[in-house]
Amino acid sequence: MLKETIKNFVSRLFSTPRSGPERLPRDKHGIERRNVSRHAIKVCEVLQHEGFAAYIVGGAVRDLIVGLEPKDFDVATNATPNQVRALFRRARIIGKRFQLVHVVFGQEIIETSTFRAPASVEQDTDEHGRILRDNLFGTHEEDAARRDFTLNALYYDPVTEEVIDYHRGVQDLKKRIVRMIGDPETRYREDPVRMLRALRFAAKLNATIDPATREPILRMAPLIENVPSSRLFDEILKLLTCGHAMDCVRQLQAVGLDQGLLPLIEIIFKQEGGEQFVELALARTDARVRAGKTISPSFLFAALLWKLVNQRWQEICASGEHPAQALMQAADSVVEEQTRKLAIQRRFQADMREIWFMQARFERANPKTIWRMLEQPRFRAAVDFLQLRAEAREVDSVQAQWWMDLANADDATRAELIEAYQTESRGKPPAARRRRSTRRRRPASAPEA
């Protein structure tokens, strides 16, 4: 550990320009102040008025420079968490590993952190070198050195409209290069999640990973097993919702990180139509991200795991189990296998199951059950999922569209659609009705699995 710390220190010493940071004016970085959150500007202005340094930092600066709309805005300052909290009416200190302040403005939260010092031998780490606690405060220069990639070590002052750049991150950003600050191997040991972040930034920015930054990932991929599963879930969700989801999955496979995050993905891709289904689902997700629409993690993971669930459902049905019960068993087994590695939150698991279970109900719907299905919270998500299945040619697209029309209709139109559905079902040949059920009161199916 001491040897790695010394190696890390020397690497940082020589990677940090002795002449100090570049201070880039607006015509050099291109950030338009009107595109910056007014609440983030407010936090910086208040802190600077009180004599503190304060800058918008990290991903927001990176995205603004390349013309993307940031999802959120973070602030870095030399004020301590307690000093920050005292200046704002709605502010709270959070975090154990990293102590932060959330400054709340209505629906927007400005995450404000104190400048931190680089890793040291005094810090609490596990046996693999992963930092467990990191609340050592430092200088502005030290804070820049402890950030992961050069393109994230950028600070924007909304008062002077300058970008402060300690590690030539603007240059790397414009060249589309993802480059680690310091020794990559040591930095990955400090926090293995940085391997995932490197892949995500490369996909999101259409960038290449610097060879020295990429080389250790393949052999250090097993370290991802040491990261808490809840944090891994957050990171994989960021990967899948960055607007380039399939590229991220391919990169995970290329460096062997998929086994620690999506252990079933290889099996799913081997299923007939499995890879196509995942590509369709992720393409839809990417389209929603680019359109600025919300993403449902439940729907996303339901789509990723569906082919395996569907295969097991058919296998259990073939053994004579009732279809609804068979689907429950299939869903439970697949979710249990996946969550051994990736802690999909229970609320998302519940929604995933509801989306899947509704697929079986679509097959046996009658007017009475259709009205009950409309009351289910995940009905619309289940219909969207049925549309995805239709696009993958698992179900009849005409019938899937009928359910979508029903979901979009008002109550009066729904009543007409259901009445027409019932009339059409009664007009079908007896053999067609018996294929779904031997009971007269249950009409033929809508979509066919």
Strand partners, 137: 116
Answer yes or no: 410 catalytic: no
Q: Which two tokens stand for residue 418?
A: 């259901």
Domain boundary among 187, 204, 236: 187
Answer yes or no: 74 catalytic: yes
Residue 195 lies in a domain: no
Catalytic, out of 143, 148, 286, 351: 148
pLDDT the model gives residue 9: 46
449 band by pLDDT with thresholds 50, 70 and 90? very low
Residue 117 lies in a domain: yes
Query: Could you tell me what percentage of the chain is helix, strand and coil, using 3-state DSSP and rounding each to the nearest 5?
Result: 60, 10, 30
Catalytic, out of 63, 74, 143, 384: 74
Does 447 have pLDDT greater than 50? no
Q: Could you give the angle at which helices 229-240 and 245-255 cross, rounded to 10 degrees?
A: 130
Q: Which long-range contacts (C-beta less than 8 Å, at least 24 apart) are formed by 233-236?
A: 233/342, 233/343, 233/344, 233/345, 235/193, 235/196, 235/197, 236/196, 236/261, 236/262, 236/342
Rounded to 5 degrees, φ, ψ at 137 are -80, 150
Q: By residue range, what is the domain housing residue 277?
A: 266-436
Answer yes or no: 148 catalytic: yes
Give burial (CB, 10 Å; 0-12/13-18/19+) of 30: middle
Residue 446 lies in a domain: no
Does 119 have pLDDT greater than 80? no
* Contact criterion met (CB below 8 Å) for 12 and 181: yes
Domain boundary among 187, 206, 224: 187
Q: What CATH number does residue 173 fall under?
A: 3.30.460.10
Answering whether pTM is above 0.85, one says no
Is 418 in the same domain as 275?
yes
Does 202 have pLDDT greater than 70? yes
- pLDDT mean across residues, the chain: 85
Distance between start and end Cα atoms, the chain: 56
DSSP string of 319-335?
A: TT--HHHHHHHHHHHHH
Give tens-digit pLDDT for 307-366. Answer: 999 999 999 999 988 888 999 999 999 998 887 777 788 899 999 999 999 998 888 888
Lowest mean pLDDT among 321-330, 362-371, 407-416: 362-371
Is 38 in the same domain as 177?
yes
Give tens-digit pLDDT for 154-176. Answer: 999 999 999 999 999 999 999 99
Q: What CATH number does residue 297 fall under?
A: 1.10.3090.10
Catalytic, out of 72, 124, 126, 234: 72
Q: Residue 56 belongs to what H/E stretch?
A: strand 54-57
Planar angle of CA 383, 387, 392, nearest 5 degrees: 145
Residue 236 lies in a domain: no
Residue 227 lies in a domain: no
Give tens-digit pLDDT for 222-245. Answer: 898 888 888 888 888 999 999 999
Is 272 in the same domain as 174?
no
Number of domains in the chain: 2
